[in-house]
Structure 1
């Protein structure tokens, strides 16, 4: 009996030793000191530092453990899109009409806007003015001699499925701008700004309006003014629904206070904007705007038969869209890219099809992505998982491919840009680290490249930390400085 117990005890000790040896095989003093930080006492940490030229592991710690990446997942989505579509790829939004234009210039039919999934259409991040598409559309309609529309504006959002938001996102995110849905026809970043005015502590703020004005958008206001300077406003609401609920607090005694929400139905909103523009310019539109989704829900048929094309509007280049995605951590753009990835293999896009293509693409390249478990393309879902090692292998692959230099420039420089503009600011690494950050409750991750005497890939993923995020970021800065200074 004692021999059996003794044998089991030795086995357990050996198993623990082998596990610790595996974690510490490439670990050095820097990472071992980092994981002893008090805020990491119950945390999970994955880390690796690779030679970006050879792929040789320099240092690592538990790098194959699947962890929640938050927005670091965007490097996987954007790297896949760049490889599959190329840096010069452009989305196309097409405009045409069905029916005929009579001798008086009246269109006896519908004006059609066919969405190509362009996330930059009317975007404040585009290289073009926000009204550039509308101006081009109006010029094309004028050139066709159209002076009135007997039908209506039909917005075709059917290139993507109707599930614009992930069912794995949290309810507290739904309705907020960073959880905007991605559809076959997007417009104006699928976002509005809600303007509020607050009074004394404990009172309900006044709703002044939205910019832009969204027809049929209604708010139930449960907000209260508070004696602090923190924005704790939450906008709750479902896709395609005009009802929004406001909860939380905002600073007291503000003449104006702005928060951002998602446009419930971007395609329908675009139809309303276009119809309104026509009317303001003297082109009467008889019918109310509608989307292909709504037509199908009502059981009405829709056909492009005999459609006359008036305009094919091209988006910004894909590399510019990816730059916004990574430097501004834009969730809408990442989700749209995931669906565009799906279109490389399927006729209709969905997030699940995009996830399938992403996973398959890297497996086909011989990269171990067994830890990759995705629910979206942006990292907003709390059920996403990937290991630091898998992220590093993907970064190594794209760095040494045809799009390596282009991809590097889409990442923000630590100490200078985007979500890492304050990280390592003024240090020896200021401007030398190209990093994507990721953070949600209890999660802080970084992944990217160090360009020094030689290029390196560095990935750090921390889950379930406790204590202030500022303290953790300070410790991360110390780790990066100890690991990369002098390299």
Structure 2
């Protein structure tokens, strides 16, 4: 897929010419004005697009403070998530909630029997967790249902299973050693990941492994973690594997007897089936028996199925706070898929929905978006474009504070690696970062700053490595950005 929003043919010719120049020649001092320190990376072979400018306010006009190839299209990694946040707020507003429903074509009998299938209809809620399923289970119990004669059906008719387009997500179909590569479905729960808890047992014996969300683990556990003496260190690995439709978690290592229990999250091979198994366990705890099996379908729920119970998820403003603060890929791609109007939407449709939103942003320029999370290296934007988005949201008084709330002040944000630079940088900026390491390094950062005279500004820095510059540390990039922004903040 390769889509761009192009205002006119002269514009693309000029943009292409600018991009060629930026690849061929070193950045001149005039071109790098305001980003003198960051320009050092250009001379080392890194591709850079950077821009910082003051925003207009009242009778004050905006002012360019620095730029370095501002129109060059580069990979933004998780900076993509600011597009997803802005488009979601624009489409639904901050108080919007996604709804998950339990339905059936049957009606409960006087003695509590539901003579048919019980259907969970996924509503595409990125924040659906076990507590929500438990609330919905209790509401079903309150209707008098005590037994389901049919199957427990999980409907992912809205979207799912979503075809994987990144290496990590495709690998997760068979094996996963992380949670960030969670697969996507409109009927997912717990961010598409299994959770187990590992606690010490008796010294010399196996660790105790329990489920985070049920009395017993809902899939096989192969436990090779031993409990060691209190003076020992704790270290173990966990790999979730899938074979012949069954999932198994393999644990190896040791845990000290003095250690606190530790939670482990691993992406599920079938998140819709994971939802069904989790719900089945909760129905059992509530005293509701399901006689049939748990199965998943992408078919639409029958038209004669009526709602028996439902749960509304968290407001969008809370979803965005978590999605941006912790750069949650699952939540970002789920939101982008929710924006797509196509039935059984795929990430290509999600990208098209985001691009349609960007086309309405004044001064943005070309963009390519293939996902809402930034995991896809095919996403391309420029510093000028991201700043145009940030300015557009700044000019939305109904949405700006909620949009900006998901950005971090380095001095007190949850991501410790951004706590670098001077005290001015630490306290005068609000940022969203993006990181990729394969196939080349990507270090991207965007956000707002406040000058000493209390003026608002926007800035974006996109740094992409090449085959000859495969890696760069975040400390190196942030230290250089801090030095340049410090001067801009102090001078204005």
Whether these two folds match at TM > 0.5 is yes
**What's the offset of the Cα at 1:100?**
2.9
- Residues 165 and 451 from structure 1, CA distance in 2 versus in 1: closer, same or farther, beyond 3 angstroms? farther
Matched residue, 2:68: 61
Deviations 1:444-484 (A, max 9, x none): 11101113311000111112254544333333322332332
Matched, 1:191 2:196: no
1:169-248 equivalences under 5 Å are: 169=168, 175=176, 176-194=178-196, 208=209, 210-212=211-213, 214-217=217-220, 235=239, 242-243=246-247
Matched residue, 2:374: 379
- Residues 167 and 443 from structure 1, CA distance in 2 versus in 1: closer, same or farther, beyond 3 angstroms? closer
- Residues 480 and 310 from structure 1, CA distance in 2 versus in 1: closer, same or farther, beyond 3 angstroms? same
Q: Provide the C-alpha distance between the structure 1 equivalents of 2:112 and 2:407, rounded to a whole number of angstroms.
A: 50
Contact 1:448/1:458, CA 8 A, preserved across alignment: yes
Equivalent in 86, 89, 102 of residue 96 of structure 2? 89
Matched residue, 2:9: none
99-108 or 251-260, larger mean C-alpha shift: 251-260
Matched, 1:430 2:426: yes
Q: Provide the C-alpha distance between the structure 1 equivalents of 2:118 and 2:408, rounded to a whole number of angstroms.
A: 41
- Residues 43 and 236 from structure 1, CA distance in 2 versus in 1: closer, same or farther, beyond 3 angstroms? farther
**What's the offset of the Cα at 1:410?**
1.9
The root-mean-square deviation of aligned C-alpha atoms, in Å, is 3.8
**What's the offset of the Cα at 1:422?**
4.3
Contact 1:168/1:382, CA 8 A, preserved across alignment: no
Q: Provide the C-alpha distance between the structure 2 equivalents of 1:16 and 1:290, rounded to a whole number of angstroms.
A: 56
Equivalent in 119, 124, 144 of residue 117 of structure 1? 124
- Residues 447 and 217 from structure 1, CA distance in 2 versus in 1: closer, same or farther, beyond 3 angstroms? farther
TM-score, length-scaled by structure 1:
0.79
Matched residue, 1:309: 307
Contact 2:221/2:250, CA 8 A, preserved across alignment: no
Q: Which runs of 5+ in 2 are unaligned?
A: 1-19, 201-205, 226-231
Matched, 1:392 2:391: no
1:12-31 equivalences under 5 Å are: 25-28=30-33, 30-31=34-35
Matched residue, 1:106: 113
Equivalent in 285, 288, 306 of residue 290 of structure 2? 285
- Residues 197 and 275 from structure 1, CA distance in 2 versus in 1: closer, same or farther, beyond 3 angstroms? closer
Deviations 1:15-74 (A, max 9, x none): 97998698655532x52233225x961211111002222554321001111212111111
Deviations 1:343-370 (A, max 9, x none): 3xx3443211111111122223444441
SS at match of 1:485: helix
TM-score, length-scaled by structure 2:
0.78
Matched residue, 2:448: 449
Q: Which runs of 5+ in 1 are unaligned?
A: 1-14, 123-129, 199-204, 223-227, 297-301
Matched residue, 1:51: 54
SS at match of 1:182: coil
459-468 or 83-92, larger mean C-alpha shift: 459-468
Contact 1:69/1:384, CA 8 A, preserved across alignment: yes
**What's the offset of the Cα at 1:96?**
2.2
**What's the offset of the Cα at 1:278?**
2.6
Equivalent in 430, 435, 442 of residue 439 of structure 1? 435
**What's the offset of the Cα at 1:338?**
0.6
Matched residue, 2:326: 328
Matched residue, 1:35: 39
Contact 1:169/1:380, CA 8 A, preserved across alignment: no
**What's the offset of the Cα at 1:258?**
5.0
**What's the offset of the Cα at 1:409?**
1.6
Q: Provide the C-alpha distance between the structure 1 equivalents of 2:297 and 2:430, rounded to a whole number of angstroms.
A: 42
